Each structure stands twice: as structure tokens, then as C-alpha cells.
Copies of this chain bind each other. A is one copy, B any other.
């Protein structure tokens, strides 16, 4: 998505450890108009796939997931990273290893919000090693639901999580794929 690639080049900041910071427009301060357009782009790709629900994981994918859900006219659910006081019902859960934080955390969704009648589209902001999305795929499978595919704003192509997910047969849409990244250059993978 050219408008996103241009914005990454303009406002993205590269930090040591292959960290790309896009907090000024994507995941701490949010450019509402851009994210709305990104949600429409994702919705257009999956419009004929019979998506019943959007699933994301807290926190930074929520706005893009919401914009996608608006464009498809379906509800959105977010998985939580820990158990909450207000969630005393049956949960579907899995464990996810965070490459960024070098630790494992629980991901939980209430079983009442995902069942075998659902065809779920996963939406998140970043895809690096792919662990968060693979965790969500496990939750979808455990709940007996179908997965219509997955979509992310930015895939770090050089960390190969996207390849792993495509190899699983998942229809994965990445609005921008970073092929390589260093202090002074950033190149995108060409997509048709």
C-alpha cells in the first residue's frame, strides 16, 4: 500500500536491534484517516471470504482491527494478554513468546466470543517472527472456528514470520513488507 510505505519512509524511525518505531502515526499516536484507509484496504481484500469477525490482540492492533471491522460491517474481538477480574467465564488460551520482550505470555479470549460458526480474520499492526498471529491461529483452531486469513500493517520480511504463516496455507495480507532495514536505508518487498 503505497500511502503506508511513503509514511513509513517519512516518519518511521529505525532503532538498534531491528526496531522500527512508527509510534507517531500507527501505534501510539494514530493517524485516524490513514488507519481508516488501511482498514478499507484489508476489508477489500477479504470482502468475499465470508468473514464473521475480526480478531486481534491487545493493544496496538486494536485501532486497525476496528477500522477493518467497520469496513466489513462485522464485530471485532480482542484477545487479552492476561486474565482479568471481569472475565470469570470459560477461556480459550495459548502461550506466545514475545521476541521484543524475550518472555512468554498468556493470550486469552472468552469462549463466548468465538465458536465453530465463526470465520475469523486476524488483524494486527506488526508481523515479525509471527508468534502472536500463530497464537491467534491456535486459539481459532481450539475454538473450532475457521480462519479466513490474516492481515497486518507492517511485515518485517527479514524476520520470516510471514513466510512461516504463508507456508501454513494462510491468506496473509501485509500492507507493507520491509525487505531490509538499517540505520540509513529501508527497502520494501515489491507486491503486485
Q: How far is the CB of A154 from chain B (nearest CB, A)?
A: 13
Q: Is the CB of A35 within 8 A of B86?
A: no
CA distance in complex: A77, B15 (Å): 21
Q: How many chain copies does the complex carry?
A: 2
Residues of the B chain whose Cβ atoms lie less than 8 Å from the Cβ of A69: 30, 32
A124-137 CB mask vs B (1 if < 8 Å, else 0) is 00000000000000
A39-69 CB mask vs B (1 if < 8 Å, else 0) is 0000000000000000000110011001101
Q: Is the CB of A66 within 8 A of B19?
A: no
Q: Is the CB of B73 within 8 A of A101?
A: no
- From the candidates B15, B33, B88, B100, name the one contacting A15 in the complex (CB within 8 A): B88
Q: Is the CB of A28 within 8 A of B59?
A: no
A84-107 CB mask vs B (1 if < 8 Å, else 0) is 011110000000000011000000
Q: Is the CB of B28 within 8 A of A113?
A: yes
Q: How far is the CB of A156 from chain B (nearest CB, A)?
A: 13
CA distance in complex: A19, B113 (Å): 19
Q: A15-B88, A31-B75, A32-B74 are in contact. List 19 more A-B contacts (CB 8 A).
A: A19-B85, A19-B86, A21-B86, A23-B113, A28-B77, A29-B77, A29-B110, A30-B66, A32-B73, A36-B70, A58-B58, A58-B59, A59-B59, A59-B78, A62-B66, A63-B66, A63-B76, A66-B66, A85-B100
Give the interface size class of chain A. 35 or more
- From the candidates B19, B30, B67, name the one contacting A75 in the complex (CB within 8 A): B30
- From the candidates B24, B67, B87, name the one contacting A66 in the complex (CB within 8 A): B67
